[in-house]
Structure 1
Amino acid sequence: MKQKRILTAALAAVLTLSLSVPALAAEAPTALPISAETPTYELVQRGENFPVRVWGTAVELGDMSLTLENSNDSDSYQKVVVNVGEDTLILDAVTGEAKTFDDLRAGEAIYAWVGPEMTDSLPPISTARVILCSIPADFGAPNYAEVETVTQTEDGVDVYMNNDVVLHLTGDTEYLVAPGWEKETVSAADIVPGTRLLSWYSVTTMSLPAQASPSKVMVFPSDYDGWVSTNGLEVTINGETLALEGTSAAKVENGRLMVPVRAVAEALGCEVAWEPYTNQVSVTSDGVELYHFAIGADQAVKGDVTVGLVASAEAVDGVTFMALDDLIVLHSLKLSTGWAG
C-alpha cells in the first residue's frame, strides 16, 4: 500500500501541470552518501520525471484514447483520459506479448503509466508510455519502474528500482526483450542505471526498501545516454571511475560538486574544443555539437534549448569546471543513487 500511496501522491502533484511544461524545468534534489572529509554538496536530477501509474476500468474507448474509471485511493479525480501515442506500448499483462489498441475492450481492467505531464482539466488527460491489458481477476499485474542502482551478487544482480523495490535477479529469472527494441536477447548485463524494467512478482518483503524475486522481467532500453554516480569527490561514468587528480581534481564550491568538463565529456566519447577569442567551449559527438557555453556564463545552449546552469562554468589553471548537476543535463545522464545493498 505504501507504493500505491506514493504513486497516488505523485499523480496529484502533477495534475496542475500543463502538457506544455518543459521537461528541463523539473528538479528533484537527491541526497547522496558523502564522507565526513568531503564538504557537503547536493546533486539534482533534472529532466523528464518517470511516468505515473494509473489503473481502473476502461469505461470508454475513443479514437486512440481510453477513459479509465479511477481506482486509485485519491479523491482528486474520478476519471482519467489516457491517450495512446505512436510510442505507446500495449502489452498483455500475463505474457508480455505486444498488443494493439484494437485489442482493448471497454469494461476491462487497465494499468497504464502516463505522463508525467497531465492537463489540469477534469478529467485530466495524459499520454501513456506503457499500457497493460488482458489482466485476469486477482492477478498481480507486473510493475514498470526505472533502475537506480545495480549490485552484483553471488546469484546474479540486485536491482534497486525507483519505486523503492529491490529486485533479486538470478539464473532462474526469465528475461524478455521489450517490443520494438532491435536486440534479440537480453540478460542481466543489459541492466544499468536508467534501464526500465517491467517485472512480474507477486510477493514483496515488509522491509524498507521492499524486496522481491521476479519470475521474469522485460528489459527496455534506457532513455539516457549514460549514467553517473559519486562517492565523495570520486565520480564514476558508466561504471568507470574518472582519474581526477591535480588541477583536474573535483571540488565542492557553494554546495555544488564541480568537475572538469573535458574528463566527463571524453569518458562519454565526446570531444571538447575551446575558442580563446570568444571564451566559448563546444562539446561534440561524432562531429555533431551537443552543447556549447561561455566560461563564466550561467547558461548553456543544447540544440535549440537554452539551459540555465546551477553554477557558472569556470576555468582554473587551464581546466574548465562545471557543476556535475549541469553536465548530467547536458549529456542526458542518469544519476544513480539510492540503495547500495
Structure 2
Amino acid sequence: MFTERTSIGLDVHARSVAAAAIDGVTGEVSRTRLTPSYEHIMDWITQMPGPVAVAYEAGPTGFGLCRALTNAGVRCEVVAPSKLQRPAGDRVKTDSRDALHLARLLRLDEVTSVSIPSVNQEAARDLVRAREDCRGDLMRARHRLSKLLLRHGIVYHAGAAWTDAHDRWLRAQAAPQLLTPATRMAFDSDYEHVLMLQGRRRALDSAIEDMAADSEFTAVVRRVSCLRGVGTLTAFALAVELGDWNRFNGNTIGAFVGLVPAEFSSGSTRAQGPITKTGNTHVRRLLVEAAWHHRSKYQARAVLRSRWELAPAAARARGHEGNLRLHNRWVGFLARRKRSTVANVAIARELAGWCWSLAVMED
C-alpha cells in the first residue's frame, strides 16, 4: 500500500526530465522541468513534503537514477511502460502530462515495477547482449557474402556452409571466379567483415565462459546446463537476463517470456491465438533454439556428461528427468502429427519451467 505523503512522477529523457508531484494531504500539484543531473533531481525532491515516493518508466536511460534515489533513502519504482493504464479517450500526450499520470498511478498503487538488476548483473547482461548483437551482425554479413556469390552463379555444394572446408573454398575457388575488379573488391570487403566478426564473437565467447566459470551466476549456470540444448553460453544468458528466478514459478515464467498463447474468451467461448511474444526476446529465442535439441533420441553423450560433472547430484537427476520428459513430449507431438514449429514452441515453454526448477534449486 502507498504510505508516503508525496507521490512524484518523472518523465525521464536524455536531456530533460519532466517532474510532477502530488501532495496526498493538501492535494496540491507541483510541476517543473529538470536537468538529467541526479543532484538536481534530488534537490527538487527534497523540497517536497516527505516522505516521498518516485516512479519513472523503464527506458534507455537505465537504472542509475533509481539506484541514486534508493541510496538516498527515497523509494523509487521503475515502471514497465507496457503495463501502464491509460484513459481510452486521452488524445493529448506531453511530458508534463505523462509525469502527472505516473504520479497519480503511483498514488493509487497501480504501477507494475520491473526488477532492478545489480551493477554486476547489468554488466554481465551488457556482455551477453553484445554477443547477441555480434551474432546477428555475423549472420547478416554471411548472407551478404553468399548472396553476392549467388548473383554470379557461384554456389557451394560440398557440404555445410561456414565450415573450414567452406572457408578454403571461398578463398581458393569462389574468389577467382569473380572476373571484374569491382566485384572482387566487394567480395574482399564482405569476406574481411565476416572474418572480423568471427574473431569478435570468439573473444566475447571466451569472456562469457570465463565469467560463467567464476561469478555469482556460476551455480545457476552449472545447474541449468544439465538440460540438453542449454550450454554454458545459453545458461549464462538465461541467468543474467532473468536475474531473480524466485519471482517466477513453473507456470509464470513461460508467460513472462511470451511463450504462452494469446487468449480471447468471453462467457462460454474460449479462443486461443498465437503466442504473445511479450517479455524478453533474447530469452525467448534461446529457449526456442534449445528446444529443438530435445527432438532427437535422448542419450547422455560426452558433452552433456562433462557439464553434469560440474553440477550437484540433485541437479543431475533433475536434468536427466527433464531431458526424458521433454523428448517424450516431442515423440507425442510427432505421433499426433503436430507441426514441428508449433510443437517446438510448446517444448520451449515447458523447457522454461525446467530451467526455473533447476535455477531455484539449492546446492
* TM-score where L is the length of structure 1: 0.25
Q: Which has the larger radius of gyration?
A: 2
Q: Which has the higher helix share?
A: 2
